């Protein structure tokens, strides 16, 4: 199961990083060079691998900071591909668009692929892998892209960049609709969120393992990486039972997950570094806003306070 050796990379822990603070959001105001530098100084002693979600201004600043400040990070650089086909099955009703919008999205995605290749070739010393999308094929997504289009994007990136190529997706579609795509990829990336599926903290790690191992067994010749696994600390009750979330449970899940991943040699990106207030609904208890191991003001939550004490002992 050792994904480090199969990918030819050093062992280390991964973290999903998106540094948008109050008043910042994708497509709008972005973190400054100094803000990104502050974040990476917080993260550098604990993580070697960063996952970035798009080739936007924020991601380019992150790559610039790593290079100029000579930081010891390796980056999984990705893109967020927009809907290319309607998905009326999206449970919150966000998956239906006019035909003109879908056509514009296809052109936008093709441009993002070109940007991904450009930045991959510019930062070969920092970017260790490339992702051609995020949660775009699962049944509940609001930005559905047909697997054959994702496969086309993967083939293009593989042909024009030197880094291994993947696609980041929920564990479930790998079992039935992504076989052809999996054959094209250099490695498979899965997401596992027990708390979104109403699992208690006592069930959490067993559920994550039950998500991971069947995919790894289905594709024995492909490395399988966990590119998202986390535990939110607040909930408004929509989609996540509030009794299942707090900083204690986040700490328990983090520690059990990382101990298992370290033991098995599975490259795992914990979701996520910092709380992001732009996400989800305007409600203060919206769970999407509270997955960070650090609060939006960069103060550590319980798990990181304990982790830091352990490193100092």
Q: Tens of pLDDT along 80-98?
A: 999 999 999 999 999 999 9
Q: Per residue in 142-193, pLDDT tens?
A: 999 999 999 999 999 999 999 999 999 999 999 999 999 999 999 999 999 9
Predicted local confidence at residue 5, as pLDDT: 87
User: What is the pTM for the complete model shown?
Assistant: 0.97
Q: Which domains does the chain have, with CATH numbers?
A: 3-312 (3.20.20.80)
Tokens of 52: 């970035």
Residue ranges in 47-131 assigned as alpha helix (H): 57-68, 99-122
Q: Per residue in 109-155, pLDDT tens?
A: 999 999 999 999 999 999 999 999 999 999 999 999 999 999 999 99
**Inter-axis angle of helices 247-264 and 204-218, nearest 10:** 30
Percent of the chain with pLDDT over 70: 98
In this predicted structure, the answer to whether residue 311 has a pLDDT above a threshold of 60 is no
**Inter-axis angle of helices 147-160 and 99-122, nearest 10:** 30
Q: Per residue in 26-83, pLDDT tens?
A: 999 999 999 999 999 999 999 999 999 999 999 999 999 999 999 999 999 999 999 9
Distances (CA, A) of 162 to 3, 63, 67, 266, 299: 19, 17, 19, 22, 38
């Amino acid at each position: 199961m050792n994904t480090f050796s199969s990918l030819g990379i050093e062992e280390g822990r991964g973290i999903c990083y998106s540094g948008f603070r109050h008043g910042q959001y994708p497509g709008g105001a972005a973190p400054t060079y100094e803000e990104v530098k502050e974040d990476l100084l917080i993260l550098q002693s604990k993580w070697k691998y960063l996952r970035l979600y798009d080739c936007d201004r924020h991601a380019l600043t992150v790559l610039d900071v790593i290079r100029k400040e000579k930081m010891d990070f390796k980056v999984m650089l990705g893109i967020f591909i927009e809907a290319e086909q309607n998905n009326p099955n999206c449970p919150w009703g966000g998956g239906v668009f006019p035909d003109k919008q879908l056509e514009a999205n296809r052109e936008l995605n093709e441009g993002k692929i070109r940007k991904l290749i450009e930045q991959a070739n510019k930062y070969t010393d920092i970017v260790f892998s490339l992702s051609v999308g995020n949660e775009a094929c699962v049944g509940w997504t609001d930005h559905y892209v047909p697997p054959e289009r994702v496969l086309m994007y993967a083939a293009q990136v593989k042909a024009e960049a030197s880094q291994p190529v993947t696609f980041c997706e929920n564990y479930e579609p790998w079992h039935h609709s992504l076989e052809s795509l999996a054959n094209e990829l250099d490695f498979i990336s899965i997401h596992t969120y027990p708390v979104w599926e109403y699992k208690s903290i006592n069930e959490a790690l067993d559920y994550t393992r039950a998500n991971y191992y069947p995919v790894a067994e289905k594709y024995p010749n492909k490395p399988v990486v966990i590119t998202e696994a986390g535990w939110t600390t607040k909930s408004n009750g929509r989609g996540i039972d509030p009794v299942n979330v707090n900083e204690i449970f986040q700490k328990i899940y983090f520690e059990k997950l990382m101990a298992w991943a370290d033991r098995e040699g599975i490259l795992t990106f914990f979701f996520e570094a910092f709380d992001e207030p732009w996400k989800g609904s305007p409600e203060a208890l919206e769970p999407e806003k509270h997955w960070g191991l650090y609060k939006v003001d960069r103060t550590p939550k319980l798990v990181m306070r304990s982790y830091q004490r352990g490193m100092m002992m």
